[in-house]
Structure 1
Amino acid sequence: MILQQRIASRPARAGADRRRHPAPFQGSKLTPRAPCASASQVAEAASASASSADAGPPNSSSSSSSPPSGLGGRSNVVSLLRSRGLVQEVTNGEELEVAAGLGPLSVYCGFDPTADSLHLGNLLGIVVLSWFQRCGHEPVALLGGATGRVGDPSGRSTERPVLSEEQIEHNVSSIRSLLVDILTRNSQPDAPPVRVLNNLDWFGPMSFLTFLREIGKFARVSTMLAKDSVRTRMESEQGISFTEFTYQLLQGYDFVHLCREQGVRVQIGGSDQWGNITAGTDLIRRLLGGEDREPPACYGLTFPLLVDSEGRKFGKSVGGAIWLSAEKLSPYKFYQYLFQVTDADVVKLLKMLTFLPLEEIEALQAAMVAPGYVPNTAQRRLAEEVTRFVHGEEGLAQAIKATEALKPGAATQLDAATLETVAGDAPSATLPRASVEGITLADILVAVKLQPSKSAARKLIKGGGVYLNNAKVSEELYIVKPSDLIESRLLLLAAGKKNKMLVRVSD
């Protein structure tokens, strides 16, 4: 990944001339536009804040349910995240809380291009970045164009498969578009802009010797071996390769580079990233600090992994991952996955994945055990809020329309696009046009095996149990007309409430 020979074998990239000759290591240089307070300065501010809080104003109560305020009177982002169950571990938590109230911070979350889309498990990182942005801080999404070529051993029992250069570049491009779309669309008018960076920009031109001399000499092998992700793999039968062993050092240097060149002060990630994040804060102390200078105050924050009440990871289903990209998973299926979560999990997910006020979530929770509660009301709200965040209003409208389309008797106006959206959730069949137009509905029900015989089909029609394109049919000998076909090529049949069939008409 960092060897010049491999980089040279890739096709030419934009900015290649600039990357070919990396600038020498710059020590503790910080960009003027984003100065960083030193750790002692923030610690002094934290101490002063604590003393002030202990003293309190005259006649004030020491207890308060309101979280500490942050920028411009907004809630302090660290307290806010804690209240929603989005904080697992923090380095110097009190200092970070004070720093978040003193001024805007740049915070980053990394996304490795292991596929051409992110999935539901990655959504927490995007949500936390968005919370920082809503509280006045600058979000930075870091694409692992370089680290994706190495592979993160965290949370894995085997080594990740090596992707081709072309596949990695494609994945990076796809994930970049997805992140920009979600974070930009959900940005508030006065919020700091979103930045999306790629760590291949600084690792690509770096030689192996430069990496060892300027970065590797600051890493302590004993510390690297102590990381859970490394120790677990070393104790396994397969072990761990030198390539994956160095991953924590690469991610750690990302933090160093972003702090020094971009003024980034905070790294966030899932709880399985704690070792990689602390590798970064340790490198910052070693590379950007020294006998005659203090290192900048930088912090790491992890959030819990997204698991259900039984400890299983969310984001997986029988059909595979719950992708965020509409090209890989339709908004309808994304919506349906969230709509079907259990009562035991829905409140936690409302807190972690939505931006609804906690008071509103608590009201939903109370309603769930109150008389007259309509089942799945909380799940419907969860599905609506998260689908809107990921796919926008248009995607949510498509999901709701497709959901309604599968309800017999629904008034939803059907179209081919909607029916194709739900095709994976209803059996389908293909019939020649001559076997549909001018043919009785009973014959078609038998042809697609929704009914065992014509007499059974006619009996069901007479009893009001058959729907054609969501409209009830009561005429036993009803003949399907060309005008019944949706866009001249589709029919949606229902025999009873649950037996549905999408019929494609071929010429």
Structure 2
Amino acid sequence: MAFESSLLRLLDERGYIHQATDGAALDALAARGPVTGYIGFDATAPSLHVGSLVQIMMLRRMQQAGHRPIVLMGGGTTKVGDPSGKDESRKMLTDADIDANIASIRKVFERFLDFGAKDAQGRPSGAILVNNADWLEPLHYIELLRTVGPHFTINRMMTFDSVRLRLEREQPLTFLEFNYMILQAYDFRELARREGCRLQLGGSDQWGNIVNGIELARRMDGAELFGLTTPLITTADGGKMGKTARGAIWLNADQLSPYDYWQFWRNTADADVGKFLRLFTDLDLQTIAKLEELEGQAINEAKVALANAATAMLHGEEAARTAEETARKAFAEGAAGGDLPTVAAGDEGIGIVAALVALGFAASNKEARRGIDQGAVRLDGEKVGDPHAIARPGARVSFGAKKHGLVVAA
């Protein structure tokens, strides 16, 4: 459909929209003036990873279109655990762990959102970060169940993917986790009351949870709320966004270096470059269209543009320039023959064991694996502990203190 509001047009043309509850009404609401919308993030680790980046970018797009984003940190729901997409229960964290994680995660949001913005009258209008522990912790559980529980049926809850898929796989689903969707629905109602929030955004796996919140607010308060979800972001080979053989691509610099973050984007598959440019950078669509026209080796220019833009947004322009220059020098040394041996690989990369053998650093796969077990192998300076790790073009492979080589594009 053709959208009237700048918000939904922006989200649509960049590829963020999968489903919306009453899209026409939401479009009309957004066209009339600023809308407040939120996305929730649980604080299970000191950093979010790149799999959460599309949601962070959705909040950024809201603010770019003149609307007000809310970052909801799940200080309360982190203690319960969202079963969506999970086969196992998460480990329990202490209050101190959760508070420390939230403080660490906030640093990333400060890179993407303006928390200090003010309107023409000087009133605060920027993004805000709230913690659902503020209203969930004081609740008496029996009182909550008596007030909110009658609006949910077990029959319907059993139909949601987050519950049904876990049970179909015969994986345990605790009663604690089963309550997560009730608490998330309560969050939406509470934000509507406290902050005038009318919109919840999220991934496609959150559709059921979002609809629950809309229905709860309608039944209890007569409020009209809306939901909008993004498609599941996968790579061209069907893999999950951000899942690599080397582990999660963390957003905090103390969890993953800016150079490794830059390399992650630089190693994007050819077929994903255009999509990722639209989703994860602020480059205008005309520029992106020109980059998408590049073919053959020239498409590497588009990948560098993606890596620079994504890295600059998170870590700053200087970090992006430094990462690009480091990679350029590494390639130059390899191309010139220099002192560094090279091994060629396609976009899919090469297994670290095979790379060590091909570079002559190990005489056999067994020796390569032994070096990994002993902590002697590094990729771009990071110790490799997984013999199945993948080294992609641009990566520097080290074995011990003196053996260094480069993976170059085939």
Q: TM-score, normalised by structure 1?
A: 0.64
Letter paired with 2:205? D
Letter paired with 1:388? A
Residues in 1 aligned to 2:62 and 2:15: alpha-carbon distance in whole angstroms: 15
Residues in 1 aligned to 2:20 and 2:217: alpha-carbon distance in whole angstroms: 16
Q: Secondary structure at the match of 1:427?
A: strand
Work out whether residues 402 and 422 of structure 1, in 8 Å CA contact, stay in contact via their aligned partners in 2: no
Residues in 2 aligned to 1:429 and 1:83: alpha-carbon distance in whole angstroms: 48
Work out whether residues 91 and 300 of structure 1, in 8 Å CA contact, stay in contact via their aligned partners in 2: yes
Match of 1:300 in 2: 227
- Structure-to-structure mapping, 1:291-330, within 5 angstroms: 295=223, 297-330=224-257
1:296-354 superposed Cα distances (whole Å, 9 cap, x missing partner): x2100000122112221111212210000000001100000110111111111112112
Residues in 1 aligned to 2:309 and 2:239: alpha-carbon distance in whole angstroms: 23
Match of 1:267 in 2: 200
Q: Secondary structure at the match of 1:268?
A: strand
Q: Secondary structure at the match of 2:146?
A: helix
Residues in 2 aligned to 1:187 and 1:385: alpha-carbon distance in whole angstroms: 23
Residues in 1 aligned to 2:188 and 2:407: alpha-carbon distance in whole angstroms: 53
Work out whether residues 107 and 267 of structure 1, in 8 Å CA contact, stay in contact via their aligned partners in 2: yes
Give the RMSD, CA atoms, in angstroms. 2.6
Please point out which of 42, 56, 60 is paired with 1:130: 60
2:132 pairs with 1:202: no
Cα distance 1:407–1:311, how it changes in 2: closer, same or farther (>3 A)?
closer
Q: CA deviation at 1:100?
A: 0.7
Cα distance 1:342–1:185, how it changes in 2: closer, same or farther (>3 A)?
farther
Count matched residues.
349
Match of 2:303 in 1: 379
Match of 2:188 in 1: 255
Q: Secondary structure at the match of 2:282?
A: coil
Match of 1:231 in 2: 164
1:50-88 superposed Cα distances (whole Å, 9 cap, x missing partner): 9xxxxxxxxxxxxxxxx6554xxxxx2112211221111
Q: Secondary structure at the match of 1:329?
A: coil
Please point out which of 365, 381, 386 is paired with 1:423: 381
Residues in 1 aligned to 2:143 and 2:198: alpha-carbon distance in whole angstroms: 25
Q: CA deviation at 1:405?
A: 4.1
Q: Secondary structure at the match of 1:376?
A: helix
Cα distance 1:428–1:402, how it changes in 2: closer, same or farther (>3 A)?
farther
Q: Identity of counterpart residues, as a percentage?
A: 38
- Higher-Rg structure is 1
Q: CA deviation at 1:158?
A: 2.0
Residues in 1 aligned to 2:117 and 2:243: alpha-carbon distance in whole angstroms: 28
Residues in 1 aligned to 2:119 and 2:273: alpha-carbon distance in whole angstroms: 30
Match of 1:139 in 2: 69
2:292 pairs with 1:355: no
Residues in 2 aligned to 1:352 and 1:174: alpha-carbon distance in whole angstroms: 24
Letter paired with 1:181? R
Cα distance 1:383–1:208, how it changes in 2: closer, same or farther (>3 A)?
same
Work out whether residues 4 and 31 of structure 2, in 8 Å CA contact, stay in contact via their aligned partners in 1: yes
Letter paired with 2:191? L
Please point out which of 138, 148, 151 is paired with 1:215: 148
Work out whether residues 115 and 127 of structure 2, in 8 Å CA contact, stay in contact via their aligned partners in 1: no
Residues in 2 aligned to 1:348 and 1:177: alpha-carbon distance in whole angstroms: 26
Work out whether residues 38 and 72 of structure 2, in 8 Å CA contact, stay in contact via their aligned partners in 1: yes
Work out whether residues 79 and 97 of structure 1, in 8 Å CA contact, stay in contact via their aligned partners in 2: no
- Structure-to-structure mapping, 1:89-104, within 5 angstroms: 89-104=19-34
- Structure-to-structure mapping, 1:328-339, within 5 angstroms: 328-339=255-266
Q: Secondary structure at the match of 1:118?
A: coil
Work out whether residues 402 and 421 of structure 1, in 8 Å CA contact, stay in contact via their aligned partners in 2: no
* Structure 1 ranges of 4+ moved more than 6 A: 185-191
Deviates more, 1:396-405 or 1:222-231: 396-405
Q: CA deviation at 1:428?
A: 5.8
Q: Secondary structure at the match of 1:139?
A: strand
- Structure-to-structure mapping, 1:163-174, within 5 angstroms: 163-174=93-104
Letter paired with 1:389? M
Residues in 1 aligned to 2:332 and 2:293: alpha-carbon distance in whole angstroms: 32
Structure 1: tracts of 5 or more residues without a match: 1-49, 51-66, 71-75, 290-294, 411-419, 431-447, 451-492, 500-507
Match of 2:294 in 1: 367
Q: CA deviation at 1:234?
A: 2.4
Please point out which of 38, 48, 54 is paired with 1:118: 48
Cα distance 1:147–1:242, how it changes in 2: closer, same or farther (>3 A)?
same
Letter paired with 1:319? R
Q: Secondary structure at the match of 2:134?
A: helix
1:376-409 superposed Cα distances (whole Å, 9 cap, x missing partner): 1111111111111111223213322332342445
- Structure-to-structure mapping, 1:48-197, within 5 angstroms: 68=3, 70=5, 76-184=6-114, 192-197=125-130
Letter paired with 1:380? V
Residues in 1 aligned to 2:34 and 2:26: alpha-carbon distance in whole angstroms: 12
1:117-156 superposed Cα distances (whole Å, 9 cap, x missing partner): 0111100011011111011100110000001100000011
